[in-house]
A and B are shown apart, each in its own frame.
Chain A
């Protein structure tokens, strides 16, 4: 039997199942964790199954194979709206979700970041809140998640060996006096483990890891879930709507199958993990007479507070070759600027992580719309460049939000998501600081020139169904349970109350593990 074969199937009217929507970091993990506890799960994924042998070591073809390219629209001041008006985010549509493309950087959110409002104070224009949970509440779940992902530098696992790109970062950072600089905490096997290879330093992490060295739900959680015989995976099914009854209980989900036929699956519980653009879109498209503004949207918070991290890229050009594309894409990190230190002119902090792009993506993203000698001189330096990505906390704002497009429809006639984003003054100040420090690192390592690249289409999408203590401030509680429908759960980065500085996936996985405990317990107690 193939590792992806369903060992069980559930009837469309079986209302004992938990329906999980999306098979990425949140949904894939939740499905497996529930199955391990004996809960029956139907896992619905809009994308198709692409196994490691199908991955393509070529950026554009790989993007076409795995990324979400269905139309979305954009608004707001961010440059992405001008350069990539129909591609606000870089997200996968495939079994495994964006864990197929992700780089693997796995950092815990710091204790003070869970208390963002208390720590940073009241910032004009920002809708900062404290999370309804603390670092202590998550500590043991973070431990479990780090073990699950084989995160390097945890549980006795060695760090990954330094590649060329990281050597440049380390030399510069050390000369500037930065102290926390190493090859990162990565969800990439540094040794052979769990039947998966160690990293072979391919450098195509963003195109899917052929060696399965990098953790992805595609070849970890999902086969493990199927193995239990309690999970049915349905691929190429697009969930259009979630139904409920008069007692505000979810009763099932309506979806379009691969042939475009409308189907319904009954549900005891529904968990939405479509990533922070599709999750609010689905709730908004599920409006009803009881929920005229969208399901679970009595607070009017569904879709609001969209966060994408304050990001940017710095490239350093050197006399001698670097060949940054050789080896892990995120090959190392400087963490000294991740602290909260308002003396720098902004609240929150940022991480500096190496990045590399292949030549095709370099041309597309280096300076979108750029042309002429300035552009081509930079491209000519490709082999001599080192790269780092800056990723920091961005401020939640009520009007940075996902709404339904009033015009654009998808293949099923459903309104598509419109993503509106404008930087907060804090984001602008942080990005400027980060660009300057990033350039300083490369200059300290001997760069003859540095370049700034603006933020890419969002790879981190957060906050659109945020957790909150009070129902009026958000969409779900600290377990991701909707404030309004007890058997509706938010199971992805949409739950984040604030973005924190760290790459989000380790926390998404951690929350999913914790949520599975909670759902199983509530089901046993017959509370849902």
Chain B
């Protein structure tokens, strides 16, 4: 999505907030597959503060220090879409953000990571936590940027690895012929 398209759509949608960021590294794998180094997520149900808070909360639930915010934003995107569809979900997300801020006597986001984490832990049994967790465990790990980060080729494996290193591990002895089998000649 180009910045231009995002800003135009944000403009057209009254009240729509936008969550933005810049890829932390312009040399990593993400930079290679991301369409642009800056990203923008148009929110439908949450405001920018709520979106940013949920993003940071997700970072505490699934902390991957070198995984870019752009990937966590996909979780926010799915939560926001759920909130746009279902008023109960929306209320739950908004209430949780408010409670986090209240408990922090200001913005939870401006607290140190350790202080933030205390609040996250305290919320472990809440429907909000469960919602973030169950959404993130799918959205965070089921996208091309995450695949690149964790080293999983996904669909690229579709044709098969028979000519692409299915047996390229050489730091252990190869099994003897009896335990293995021939690579088919027609391959």
Contacts and interface: CB of A to CB of B under 8 A. Distances in A.
Interface of A: 57-60, 152, 158-164, 166-168, 170-171, 181-183, 190-192, 198-204, 210-211, 320-323, 325-327, 332, 358-360, 362-364, 369, 371-373, 375-376, 379-380, 382-383, 445-446
B62 A375 contact: yes
B64 A380 contact: yes
A360 B160 contact: no
Nearest to B150: A382
B186 A192 contact: yes
B181 A160 contact: yes
A152 to B, nearest CB: 7
A103 B170 CA distance: 26
A418 B159 CA distance: 39
Contacts of B173: 171
Specify which of A158, A332, A362, A372 lies most central, judged by the most chain B CB atoms within 10 Å of its CB. A372
Contacts of A326: 157, 161, 164-166
Interface string B124-167: 00000000010001101110001100111111011111101111
Contacts of B183: 161
Nearest to B130: A369
A380 B137 CA distance: 14
A243 to B, nearest CB: 42
Contacts of B187: 198, 200
B154 A202 contact: no
B167 to A, nearest CB: 6
A326 B158 CA distance: 10
A57 B140 CA distance: 18
Interface residues of B, number: 45
Contacts of B62: 371, 375-376, 379
A159 B175 CA distance: 12
A327 B187 CA distance: 14
Interface in B30-50: none
A167 B161 contact: no
A201 B160 contact: yes
Q: Which 3 A-B pairs have the closest CB atoms?
A: A200-B160, A159-B181, A363-B141
Contacts of A379: 62, 64, 141, 150
14 contacts: A59-B142, A162-B181, A164-B167, A168-B169, A182-B180, A201-B161, A203-B166, A321-B151, A360-B138, A363-B137, A363-B138, A371-B62, A372-B61, A382-B151
A198 B184 contact: yes
B157 A57 contact: yes
Contacts of A210: 158
A201 B63 contact: no
B172 A171 contact: yes
Contacts of A199: 160, 162, 184
Given A60-B138, A202-B161, A379-B64, A369 B133 contact: yes
A372 B63 contact: yes
A183 B152 contact: no
A274 B15 CA distance: 51
Given A57-B155, A158-B182, A181-B179, 18 more contacts: A57-B158, A58-B155, A164-B166, A164-B167, A164-B168, A167-B174, A167-B175, A171-B173, A182-B180, A190-B181, A190-B182, A326-B166, A359-B154, A362-B141, A363-B137, A372-B61, A376-B62, A382-B152
B158 A161 contact: no
Contact of A373 (B63, B141, B174): B63
A57 B161 CA distance: 13
A267 B158 CA distance: 43
Given A182-B178, A182-B179, A198-B187, A204 B157 contact: yes
A163 B150 contact: no
A380 to B, nearest CB: 7
Contact of B160 (A162, A167, A181, A202): A202
A166 to B, nearest CB: 7
Nearest to A360: B142
A487 to B, nearest CB: 45
B155 to A, nearest CB: 5
Contacts of A152: 181
Contact of B162 (A181, A200, A362, A382): A200
A382 B182 CA distance: 28
Contacts of A191: 184, 186
Contacts of A376: 62-64
Nearest to A318: B171
Specify which of A160, A168, A364, A371 lies most central, judged by the most chain B CB atoms within 10 Å of its CB. A371
A387 to B, nearest CB: 13
Contact of A200 (B159, B174, B178): B159
Nearest to B65: A376
Contacts of B158: 57, 202, 204, 210
A167 B138 contact: no
B146 A159 contact: no
Contacts of A369: 133
A91 to B, nearest CB: 20
Nearest to A363: B141
Contacts of A382: 150-152
Contacts of A375: 62
A204 B155 CA distance: 9
A203 B161 contact: yes
Nearest to B165: A326
A320 B171 contact: yes
A359 B140 CA distance: 10
A122 B180 CA distance: 40
A152 B141 CA distance: 35
Contacts of A364: 137-138
A252 to B, nearest CB: 43
